[in-house]
């Protein structure tokens, strides 16, 4: 029954992802398409209002545009958070957010991380929820989608990598806004509130008075998932009955956070004019995802041996921290999806996962390419594909080439930066946090679980996921500043490096494919790609994982 549920969700996902992939390839085509007639009017109006010129950009112009627009966004967000106490739409009378927490929050939502060192219902006014949170929840996945389009054009196109502003607008008009309207309505149908009324007061059956937080929840929850954002309206995120009331809403949320990341490989296939190529990239992500999912599922189903020894029945599996209305299968699936797609929304407290179950979200975020967040996940797997081509491609006796473009010193340098940054910004701050008082003061668990807690926080920040191993006392200057910086480096360094790769590749004359060319659209390459991701991406973290979840697992076994 569990497997049937999981299989059903994944089949539905695949059925949706293929046409969505084709749609995305057309929606962002540089050439005119029929979609232009439909969306063109509104878009032209926006271009005119904003003074956007439609000329093709070089990779440098593109990267500058990404940075300039993102800096503007974070400035707006920071100001509103600081001023929310005096701004309108604050019926519950919530005060201004303090500076460091505002910095962390603004950066967190800017980088598509949505790490929350505050609790939504008590920390944010409705205005902040709508303008800071929902606004960034649209623009940051749109930035990710724009960048991945530019990157894929660099790998497959001839003309140029496109125009950032056009891509950014199209990501809104053609993808995120229409989808979020649909998902919002479906969520409302499942009972998710969408209201401007203040917190309700109710009297419980025992006669006590209870404050029930509510607000414009459905609109936030829809884009939270579609945009692989993850920051909940409420502190407990999608385990809150108002954010995720039914199994159907759970399914809807899983599908919406996986939809865009899972369609992008197919988009790539369409753009490369090789649908098989798209399938191989999707396949590699899919195999890794299934492996992680099964690891999580079986570990949770088998229960927690420590609790069993304490006399608690584990026949239902390890239900500590889980919502009974979802059960193990839907929880394991949600957990595997939210960290694969680096959304960070949770329907369970990840802290309570069994040790190896907890290794799953960690591992997926460390790889950061098992579907990954909107846009960036696909960029990462394609980066690993280039790396795989470089290593394996030499073995066929040619200078490595991917889709006809030679991979040379310049590309390798840029990729080296990207693969270097990820472990650096996870391991270095984790080491600092664990070795110093300012860091370890917030860690609520001793021993191996404490290592996991700190490691999780930085991995989640670096991968721009945003979920947490709750229990960490993270609203301190150390954690706010360190995770804020890690989120910024985690997002922008690799985005800029990969845009540079795109700019360098598009300038190359494609080499025609011959019998002597390494084929990247067959199963052999799928194996090579997975092996590259595992050996280069994952083994790096094995020593620290051995000290965290693995040691914990071995000691409670």
Partner 1 sequence: MSRTRTVALPKDLYRRAFVESFKKLDPRVMMKNPVMFVVEVGFVITLLLTFVPNLFGGESEPLFNAVVSFILFVTILFANFAEALAEGRGKAQAESLKKTKQETKARRIAKDGSLQMVNSTDLRKGDIVIVETGELIPSDGEIIEGVASVDESAITGESAPVIKEAGGDFSSVTGGTRVVSDQIRIRVTTDPGESFLDRMISLVEGAKRQKTPNEIALSTLLVSLTLIFLIVCTTLLPIAGFVNAAIPVATLIALLVCLIPTTIGGLLSAIGIAGMDRVTQFNVIATSGKAVEASGDINTIILDKTGTITHGNRMAAEFVTVGKAKLEVLNKVAAQSSLYDETPEGRSVIELAKKQGLSSEALQLPGSEGIEFRAETRMSGTNLADGSLIRKGAVDAIKKYVTEQGGSIPSDLETKANAIAVAGGTALAVVEGKTILGLIYLKDTVKPGMRERFEELRRMGIRTVMCTGDNPLTAATIAKEAGVDDFVAEAKPEDKIALIRKEQAEGKLVAMTGDGTNDAPALAQADVGLAMNSGTVAAKEAANMVDLDSDPTKIIEVVAIGKQLLMTRGALTTFSIANDVAKYFAIIPAMFMLAIPQMSALNIMNLATPQSAILSALIFNAIIIPILIPLAMKGVKYTPMSASKLLSRNLVIYGLGGILVPFIGIKLIDMILATFSLV
Burial grade of 302 (CB within 10 A; 0-12, 13-18, 19 or more): middle
Q: Please report how close the Cβ of residue 398 comes to partner 1 at its closest, in angstroms.
A: 5
Q: How many residues does the chain have?
A: 557
Q: Of the ranges 116-124, 184-192, 331-339, 429-437, which one interacts with partner 1 (CB under 8 A)?
A: 429-437
Q: Which is nearer to partner 1, 275 or 398 (CB)?
A: 398
Site residues for partner 1, window 381-400 (CB under 8 A)? 387, 390-399
| Residue 493 lies near partner 1 (rule: CB under 8 A) | no
| Residue 437 lies near partner 1 (rule: CB under 8 A) | no
Q: Please report how close the Cβ of residue 531 comes to partner 1 at its closest, in angstroms.
A: 7
Distance, in Å, from the CA atom of 556 to the CA atom of 353, rounded to the nearest integer, reads 13
Q: Please report how close the Cβ of residue 510 comes to partner 1 at its closest, in angstroms.
A: 5
Distance, in Å, from the CA atom of 465 to the CA atom of 361, rounded to the nearest integer, reads 10
Site residues for partner 1, window 503-532 (CB under 8 A)? 508-512, 514-519, 522, 524, 527-528, 531
Among 428, 438, 441, 507, binds partner 1 (CB under 8 A): 428
Among 69, 246, 302, 440, binds partner 1 (CB under 8 A): 440
* CA-wise closest residue to 467 among 236, 288, 180, 249: 236
* β-sheet bridge partners, residue 210: 202
Q: Which is nearer to partner 1, 143 or 520 (CB)?
A: 520
Site residues for partner 1, window 528-557 (CB under 8 A)? 528, 531, 535-536, 539-544, 546-547, 550-551, 554-555, 557
Query: How many degrees, rounded to 5, is the angle at CA 531 between CA 278 and CA 293?
Result: 75
Q: Please report how close the Cβ of residue 31 comes to partner 1 at its closest, in angstroms.
A: 22
| Residue 71 lies near partner 1 (rule: CB under 8 A) | no
Among 248, 423, 475, 481, binds partner 1 (CB under 8 A): 423
Q: Which is nearer to partner 1, 226 or 379 (CB)?
A: 379
Q: Which is nearer to partner 1, 14 or 485 (CB)?
A: 485
Distance, in Å, from the CA atom of 419 to the CA atom of 423, rounded to the nearest integer, reads 7
Distance, in Å, from the CA atom of 95 to the CA atom of 441, rounded to the nearest integer, reads 27
Distance, in Å, from the CA atom of 552 to the CA atom of 2, rounded to the nearest integer, reads 27
Q: Which is nearer to partner 1, 77 or 281 (CB)?
A: 281
Q: Which residues are within 8 A (CB) of 504 and not within 5 positions of it... i.e. 6 or more apart?
A: 59, 154, 410, 411, 414
Q: Which is nearer to partner 1, 328 or 418 (CB)?
A: 418
What's the distance, Cα to Cα, between the start and end of the chain in Å? 27
Q: Of the ranges 45-53, 191-199, 285-293, 415-423, which one interacts with partner 1 (CB under 8 A)?
A: 415-423
90, 106 contact by CB (below 8 A): no
Q: Please report how close the Cβ of residue 555 comes to partner 1 at its closest, in angstroms.
A: 5
* CA-wise closest residue to 109 among 123, 95, 93: 123
Q: Which residues are within 8 A (CB) of 157 and not within 5 positions of it... i.e. 6 or more apart?
A: 30, 271, 506
| Residue 189 lies near partner 1 (rule: CB under 8 A) | no
| Residue 207 lies near partner 1 (rule: CB under 8 A) | no
CA–centroid distance for 304 within its chain: 28
434, 447 contact by CB (below 8 A): no
Q: Which residues of 519-535 are buried (b: 16+ CB within 10 A; e: fewer)?
A: ebbeeebbebbbebbee
Distance, in Å, from the CA atom of 339 to the CA atom of 300, rounded to the nearest integer, reads 16
Q: Which is nearer to partner 1, 87 or 287 (CB)?
A: 287
Q: At what angle do helices 447-462 and 355-367 cross, to 10 degrees?
A: 30
Distance, in Å, from the CA atom of 70 to the CA atom of 60, rounded to the nearest integer, reads 15
Contact mark string toward partner 1, 444..483, x via CB under 8 A: ---xx-xx--------------------------------
Q: Which is nearer to partner 1, 46 or 431 (CB)?
A: 431
Distance, in Å, from the CA atom of 279 to the CA atom of 529, rounded to the nearest integer, reads 13
Q: Please report how close the Cβ of residue 433 comes to partner 1 at its closest, in angstroms.
A: 9
Among 72, 122, 413, 473, binds partner 1 (CB under 8 A): 413
Q: What's the token pair of residue 310?
A: 């304490």
Which residues in this chain contact partner 1 in the complex, by CB under 8 A?
387, 390-399, 404, 407-409, 411-413, 416-417, 419-420, 423-424, 427-428, 430-432, 434-435, 440, 447-448, 450-451, 508-512, 514-519, 522, 524, 527-528, 531, 535-536, 539-544, 546-547, 550-551, 554-555, 557
């Amino acid at each position: 029954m569990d497997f049937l549920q999981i299989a059903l969700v994944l089949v539905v996902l695949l059925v949706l992802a293929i046409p969505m992939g084709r749609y995305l390839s057309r929606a962002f085509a540089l050439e005119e398409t029929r979609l232009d007639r439909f969306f063109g009017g509104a878009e032209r109006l926006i271009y005119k209002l904003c003074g956007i010129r439609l000329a093709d950009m070089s990779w440098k112009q593109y990267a500058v545009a990404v940075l300039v627009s993102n800096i503007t966004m974070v400035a707006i967000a920071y100001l509103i958070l600081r001023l929310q106490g005096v701004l309108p739409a604050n019926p519950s009378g919530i005060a201004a957010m303090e500076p460091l927490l505002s910095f962390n929050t603004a950066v967190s939502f800017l980088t598509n991380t949505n790490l929350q060192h505050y609790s939504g219902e008590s920390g944010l006014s409705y205005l902040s929820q709508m303008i800071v949170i929902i606004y960034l929840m649209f623009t940051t996945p749109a930035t990710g989608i724009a960048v991945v389009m530019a990157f894929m054009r660099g790998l497959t196109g001839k003309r140029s990598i496109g125009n950032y502003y056009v891509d950014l607008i199209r990501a809104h008009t053609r993808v995120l806004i229409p989808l979020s309207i649909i998902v919002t309505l479906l969520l409302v149908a499942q009972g998710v509130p969408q209201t401007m009324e203040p917190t309700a007061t109710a009297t419980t059956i025992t006669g006590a008075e209870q404050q029930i937080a509510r607000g414009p929840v459905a609109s936030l929850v829809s884009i939270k998932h579609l945009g692989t954002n993850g920051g909940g309206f409420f502190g407990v995120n999608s385990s809150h009955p108002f954010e995720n009331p039914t199994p159907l809403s759970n399914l809807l949320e899983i599908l919406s956070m996986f939809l865009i990341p899972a369609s992008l490989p197919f988009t790539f296939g369409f753009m490369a004019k090789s649908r098989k190529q798209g399938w191989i990239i999707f396949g590699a992500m899919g195999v890794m995802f299934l492996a992680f999912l099964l690891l999580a599922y079986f570990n949770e189903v088998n229960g927690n041996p420590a609790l069993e020894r304490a006399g608690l029945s584990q026949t239902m599996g390890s239900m500590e921290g889980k919502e009974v209305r979802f059960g193990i299968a839907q929880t394991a699936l949600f957990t595997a999806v939210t960290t694969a797609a680096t959304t960070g929304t949770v329907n369970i407290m990840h802290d309570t996962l069994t040790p190896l179950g907890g290794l799953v979200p960690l591992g997926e975020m460390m790889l950061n390419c098992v579907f990954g967040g909107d846009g960036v996940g696909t960029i990462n797997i394609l980066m690993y594909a280039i790396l795989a081509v470089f290593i394996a491609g030499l073995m066929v006796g040619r200078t490595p080439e991917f889709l006809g473009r030679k991979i040379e010193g310049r590309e390798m340098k840029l990729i080296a930066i990207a693969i270097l940054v990820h472990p650096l910004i996870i391991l270095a701050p984790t080491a600092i946090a664990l070795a110093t008082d300012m860091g370890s003061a917030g860690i609520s668990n001793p021993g191996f679980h404490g290592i996991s807690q700190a490691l999780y926080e930085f991995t989640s920040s670096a991968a721009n996921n945003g979920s947490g191993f709750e229990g960490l006392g993270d609203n301190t200057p150390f954690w706010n500043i360190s995770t804020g910086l890690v989120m910024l480096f985690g997002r922008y360094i690799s985005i800029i490096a990969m845009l540079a790769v795109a700019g360098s590749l598009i300038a190359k004359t494609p080499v025609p494919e011959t019998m002597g060319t390494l084929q990247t659209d067959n199963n052999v390459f799928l194996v090579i790609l997975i092996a590259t991701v595992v050996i280069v991406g994952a083994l790096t973290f094995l020593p620290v994982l051995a000290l965290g979840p693995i040691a914990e697992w071995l000691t409670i076994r």
